[in-house]
Amino acid sequence: MGAKSEKWMLMVTARTPTNIAVIKYWGKRDEKLILPINDSISVTLDPNHLCTTTTVSVSPSFVEDRMWLNGKEISLQGGRFQSCLREIRARANDVEDKKKGIKIKKEDWQKLHLHIASYNNFPTAAGLASSAAGLACLVFSLAKLMNLKEDNSQLSAIARQGSGSACRSLYGGFVKWIMGKEENGSDSLAVQLADEKHWDDLVIIIAVVCARQKETSSTSGMRDTVETSALIQHRAKEVVPKRIIEMENAIQNHDFPSFARLACTDSNQFHAVCLDTHPPIFYMNDTSHRIISCVEKWNRAEGTPQVAYTFDAGPNAVMIARNRKTAALLLQRLLYNFPPQPGTDLDSYVIGDKSILEDAGVKHMKGVEALAPPPETKDNIVGEKSKGDVSYFICTRPGGGPVVLSDETHALLDPITGLPN
Amino acid sequence: MGAKSEKWMLMVTARTPTNIAVIKYWGKRDEKLILPINDSISVTLDPNHLCTTTTVSVSPSFVEDRMWLNGKEISLQGGRFQSCLREIRARANDVEDKKKGIKIKKEDWQKLHLHIASYNNFPTAAGLASSAAGLACLVFSLAKLMNLKEDNSQLSAIARQGSGSACRSLYGGFVKWIMGKEENGSDSLAVQLADEKHWDDLVIIIAVVCARQKETSSTSGMRDTVETSALIQHRAKEVVPKRIIEMENAIQNHDFPSFARLACTDSNQFHAVCLDTHPPIFYMNDTSHRIISCVEKWNRAEGTPQVAYTFDAGPNAVMIARNRKTAALLLQRLLYNFPPQPGTDLDSYVIGDKSILEDAGVKHMKGVEALAPPPETKDNIVGEKSKGDVSYFICTRPGGGPVVLSDETHALLDPITGLPN
């Protein structure tokens, strides 16, 4: 153990992105190991706008494993946390910090306790895959702390056991979760298809939609779908494998029309099998439907897709625009159709990359009110504009994978007490 | 021709019910002949509450075929009307009315013109299968006028060419539309599985739901689904055939739990393939979803289904309660969760068979406000009650098939002028 009695503490802080699936994961073949019934593909979101930061620390003075999420202590007793902690401890190695005079032997990790603090730079409850980023960040930061030799793909198989889609947050850019064949799940892991610079035209706008009803958790939802849907196996076995190949090609070739078609149809099919579940699961609401109609109408009017949309297990829309110019036009349309409630500040209604808002030429709330109806709606009866159906928009883009934050000012735990700052 | 120069007129008035599918028809294999990709099964609704009345008349003084719907003249030029008229004229026979001294020869029908007036005893725009009842009534009444020898099943194959689901309105009770195999459609027709007395415990409550957006027509909707859904063929070939057999058994054996499970899952699967269409089709809205949640929660709490629900190409819910007692409890729940807008008269908010309202113990609007929350919602966070999401409720039951109304006071055309009354 360390030279300076029992007072030493070692800390690592890391940042991990969220991701949004464009070919969806829905349904497990093994509930415990979290093995999916089909491959999935995701886009990693820029961690500047959506990420989890986690500090993990170890000290002989800690009497038990403890964790804080957004400053509030949470239980680590859940099977999923325990799986990740067990798998990581089993792979821990000797660690030496010469500057601090600390030496931890491989076998010591089984006895040493951990303090973990995690923080999302976006609302946890907004249904933006916070558990994916969170579990990925936990696994990544612990792997650094315990000096694991495994690469990110091997780490992804550990994160997968915490939260399925977490495995796709171990890489930036475009990521495939290979379902694997092994019963023990060793080959069910994430690989990077292309990094975030490969297709850097893309701009992402997220509409955080107000929900009236509590949603079905994705864990119980996908279990119900596998048990009761008459369509899910056909989707997993016949439909998705072809789409995976097509989506990989679309990404490789920067083929936006194919990318958009596949992303939209696969999102809709995921929600279709939710509806085919007994009892049926509804994640999208009327606002989600209106966002889809708005995008579909525009894509149709342009003759070729300008924007792809995808919805996870909630009503929020993630829209991927083919480039900055398109993103600005999209934001105009969204603000026109989904204005905020009176008294809302534009600065808090459109967050993230504000330069898209500048490109859209909207400088203040009066600018939103002055927006002209988009040309494609002119001939049609325009759907009612109802204020406040969207909570806010986040402008972002594809982004990079996990990183260690070596600057200690980012740490979420106090280096003396080991408690949240 | 008739003895009394050119002034004679012959008239038939008939009444035909609407029907609601419990195993859904969605998708054609032949657009022109209207041949479906799977069998379907429906329940005929009591014509006292929902029906079309049609008067057809013939006179040598008529110079062209004309039709009025709810008092307003409409075009008969559509291919579907023309198909029906052509098919019926081809099967016309000699007609003699000795009392009036009229004799029409078989071959005369090709030259004689028709006046047709049709009236729905429910709002046409409410999305309650008005075209099904309308086309069925047109075919049935013309068949009587022209003395066709075909039985109702053979007539259903003609009505089918006007509007697919119209073929199921040629019978009361429980009806199966057999998809058939012939290319010319001759074996794609309706048969009665059981008449309306076979299972007369059932009570039906329809929620006419307010819609904010214009809906996709079912004709173009099902064409898009067949062209773009990756799930529809699996549904038609693998899922529906089994459900048809199970539903026939459930009806034969008065097996309400199976009936409810099949009706609900098949309605949801129909909406699932709509969502799997590109661009996606949404017929249900948030109010529809809340009605489903309300019924599912209750069914679950009771341990066995009390109520089945089914939704056609629109947001309206058709709920089938296992008996009168259940229907009264259902109506209480519906009025509790979906109260009318202030100032609405209870008498116009619950129409049809008012005795269900009496059984529910609700006598006036104050009684609606005084309803206690259903026991199954007590532990849960109750969804927001928002007034006016439902336009009105119709209480009805399974009903009989088409009938000729011999009492001339029911005629919709003036016996002298041949114009609408």
Report chain A residues touching chain B, CB-CB < 8 A: 212-214, 228, 230-231, 234-235, 238-239, 261, 264-265, 268-269, 271-273, 275-280, 282, 285-286, 289-290, 292-293, 296, 300, 381, 383-384
Identify which of A313, A333, A312 has the alpha carbon closest to the alpha carbon of residue A321: A333
C-alpha–C-alpha distance, residues B153 and A411, integer Å = 78
Alpha-carbon distance B228 to nearest alpha carbon in chain A (angstroms): 9
pLDDT at A339: 94
Alpha-carbon distance A352 to nearest alpha carbon in chain B (angstroms): 29
Query: Which chain A residue has its CA at the smallest distance from B228's CA?
Result: A265
Chain B residues whose CB is inside 8 A of the A212 CB are 286, 383-384
Mean pLDDT computed over A332-337: 96
Asked if A285 lies within 8 A of B289 by C-beta distance, the reply is yes
Give this complex's ipTM. 0.93
Q: Is the pLDDT of residue A314 over 60?
A: yes
Asked if A278 lies within 8 A of B261 by C-beta distance, the reply is yes
Asked if B239 lies within 8 A of A261 by C-beta distance, the reply is no
Output the CA torsion sign for B324, B325, B330, B336: positive
Asked if A212 lies within 8 A of B271 by C-beta distance, the reply is no
**A186, A301, B157 from B182: Cα distances, Å:** 53, 40, 12
Asked if A286 lies within 8 A of B290 by C-beta distance, the reply is no
Chain B residues whose CB is inside 8 A of the A230 CB are 235, 238-239, 265, 269
**Angle at the Cα of B251 from the Cα atoms of B245 and B253, rounded to 5 degrees:** 100
C-alpha–C-alpha distance, residues B48 and B45, integer Å = 9
pLDDT at A215: 77
pLDDT at B386: 77
C-alpha–C-alpha distance, residues B147 and B41, integer Å = 29
Identify which of A127, A129, A153, A128 has the alpha carbon closest to the alpha carbon of residue A140: A153
Asked if A212 lies within 8 A of B285 by C-beta distance, the reply is no
Identify which of B115, B161, B92, B110 has the alpha carbon closest to the alpha carbon of residue B10: B115
Chain A residues whose CB is inside 8 A of the B268 CB are 275-278, 280
**A34, A80, A178, B97 from A164: Cα distances, Å:** 6, 10, 11, 78
Q: Is the pLDDT of residue A34 over 80?
A: yes
For residue A19, what are its two tokens? 């991701």
Identify which of A226, A238, A212, A219 has the alpha carbon closest to the alpha carbon of residue A278: A226
Mean pLDDT computed over A387-392: 92
B344-372 exposure pattern, b = at least 16 Cβ within 10 A, e = fewer: bebeebbbbbeebbebbebeebeebeebe
Q: Which of B230, B273, B296 is nearest residue A279 as measured by Cβ atoms?
A: B296
Note if the bond before A279 is cis, omega within 30 degrees: yes
Q: Which of A239, A276, A290 is nearest residue B268 as measured by Cβ atoms?
A: A276
Q: What is the DSSP letter of A166?
A: G
Instruction: Please list the residues that pair with A420 across neighbouring strands.
Output: A413
C-alpha–C-alpha distance, residues A178 and A175, integer Å = 10
Per-residue pLDDT of chain B (421 residues), as tens digits, is 444 456 899 999 999 999 999 999 999 999 999 999 999 999 999 999 999 999 999 999 999 999 999 999 999 998 889 999 999 999 999 999 999 999 999 999 999 999 999 999 877 666 676 788 999 999 999 999 999 999 999 999 999 999 999 999 999 999 999 999 999 999 999 999 999 999 999 999 999 998 776 678 899 999 999 999 999 999 999 999 999 999 999 999 999 999 999 999 999 999 999 999 999 999 999 999 999 999 999 999 999 999 999 999 999 999 999 999 999 999 999 999 999 999 999 999 999 999 999 999 999 889 998 999 999 886 554 455 778 899 999 999 999 999 999 998 999 999 999 999 9
* pLDDT one-digit tens code per residue, B61-82: 999 999 999 999 999 998 889 9
Identify which of B355, B418, B410, B416 has the alpha carbon closest to the alpha carbon of residue B52: B410
Tally of CB atoms within 10 A around A246: 16
Query: Which chain A residue has its CA at the smallest distance from B299's CA?
Result: A279
Q: Which of B276, B279, B384 is nearest residue A272 as measured by Cβ atoms?
A: B276
pLDDT at B163: 94
Chain B residues whose CB is inside 8 A of the A384 CB are 212
pLDDT at A377: 81
Asked if B230 lies within 8 A of A265 by C-beta distance, the reply is yes
HSE toward the beta carbon, residue A334, CA cutoff 13 A: 36
Chain B residues whose CB is inside 8 A of the A265 CB are 228, 230, 276, 278
Phi and psi at B67, nearest 5°, equal: -140, 140
Asked if B290 lies within 8 A of A264 by C-beta distance, the reply is no
B294-305 exposure pattern, b = at least 16 Cβ within 10 A, e = fewer: bbbbbbeeeeeb
Output the CA torsion sign for A363, A355, A404, A189: positive
C-alpha–C-alpha distance, residues A415 and A397, integer Å = 34
Query: Which chain B residue has its CA at the smallest distance from A284's CA?
Result: B286
For residue A283, what are its two tokens? 């994640």
Q: Is the pLDDT of residue A248 over 90?
A: yes
Q: What is the mean pLDDT of chain B?
A: 93
Asked if A280 lies within 8 A of B292 by C-beta distance, the reply is yes
**A107, A415, B285, B417 from B138: Cα distances, Å:** 86, 84, 32, 20
Alpha-carbon distance A224 to nearest alpha carbon in chain B (angstroms): 13
Q: Is the pLDDT of residue A131 over 90?
A: no
Query: Which chain B residue has its CA at the smallest distance from A230's CA?
Result: B239
Asked if B265 lies within 8 A of A285 by C-beta distance, the reply is no
Alpha-carbon distance A208 to nearest alpha carbon in chain B (angstroms): 17
Chain B residues whose CB is inside 8 A of the A213 CB are 290, 293, 383
pTM of the predicted structure, to 2 decimals: 0.94
Alpha-carbon distance A139 to nearest alpha carbon in chain B (angstroms): 35
* pLDDT one-digit tens code per residue, B131-175: 889 999 999 999 999 999 999 999 999 999 999 999 999 999 999
Asked if A268 lies within 8 A of B285 by C-beta distance, the reply is no
C-alpha–C-alpha distance, residues A338 and A332, integer Å = 10
Chain B residues whose CB is inside 8 A of the A290 CB are 213
DSSP A108-136: GGGT-EEEEEEEESS-GGG-S-HHHHHHH
For residue B167, what are its two tokens? 């073929």
Report chain B residues touching chain A, CB-CB < 8 A: 212-214, 228, 230-231, 234-235, 238-239, 261, 264-265, 268-269, 271-273, 275-280, 282, 285-286, 289-290, 292-293, 296, 300, 381, 383-384
Angle between helices B152-159 and B130-145 (to 10 degrees): 130
Query: Which chain A residue has its CA at the smallest distance from B267's CA?
Result: A276
Q: Is the pLDDT of residue A11 over 80?
A: yes
The A113-120 sheet, strands edge to edge? A72-74, A66-69, A113-120, A51-59, A10-17, A403-404
Mean pLDDT computed over A243-270: 98
Output the CA torsion sign for A237, A238, A242, A244: negative
Maximum CA pair distance of chain A? 78
Chain A residues whose CB is inside 8 A of the B290 CB are 213
Asked if B231 lies within 8 A of A230 by C-beta distance, the reply is no
Q: What is the mean pLDDT of chain A?
A: 93
Chain B residues whose CB is inside 8 A of the A305 CB are none
Q: Which of A228, A280, A383 is nearest residue B213 as measured by Cβ atoms?
A: A383
Output the CA torsion sign for B128, B132, B133, B135: positive
* pLDDT one-digit tens code per residue, A49-88: 999 999 999 999 999 999 999 999 999 998 889 999 999 9
Identify which of A16, A5, A21, A6 has the alpha carbon closest to the alpha carbon of residue A271: A21
Q: Is the pLDDT of residue A39 over 70?
A: yes
Amino acid at A228: T
3-state secondary structure B314-344: CCCEEEEECCHHHHHHHHHHHHHHCCCCCCC
Q: Is the pLDDT of residue A195 over 50?
A: yes
What confidence tier does A2 reach under pLDDT thresholds 50, 70, 90?
A: very low
* pLDDT one-digit tens code per residue, B81-104: 999 999 999 999 999 999 999 999
Q: Is the pLDDT of residue A112 over 70?
A: yes
Alpha-carbon distance B87 to nearest alpha carbon in chain A (angstroms): 38
pLDDT at B3: 45
3-state secondary structure chain B: CCCCCCCCCEEEEEEEECEEEEECCCCEEECCCCEECCCEEEEEECCCCCEEEEEEEEECCCCCCEEEECCEEECCCCHHHHHHHHHHHHCCCCEEECCCCEEECHHHHHCCEEEEEEEECCCHHHCCCHHHHHHHHHHHHHHHHCCCCCCHHHHHHHHCCCCHHHHHHHCCCEEEEECCCCCCCCCCEEEEEECCCCCCCCEEEEEEECCCCCCCCHHHHHHHHHHHCCCHHHHHHHHHHHHHHHHHHHHHCCCHHHHHHHHHHHHHHHHHHHHCCCCCCCCCCHHHHHHHHHHHHHHHHHCCCCEEEECCCCCCEEEEECCHHHHHHHHHHHHHHCCCCCCCCHHHHEEECCHHHHHCCCCCHHHHHCCCCCHHHCCCCCCCCCCCCEEEEEEECECCCCEECCCHHHCCECCCCCCEC
Alpha-carbon distance A251 to nearest alpha carbon in chain B (angstroms): 21
pLDDT at A124: 65
Amino acid at A259: F
Asked if B265 lies within 8 A of A239 by C-beta distance, the reply is no
Residue A63 near residue A306 (C-beta atoms within 8 A)? no
- Which one of A265, A311, A380 makes the best mutation probe of the B interface by having the most chain B beta carbons within 10 Å? A265
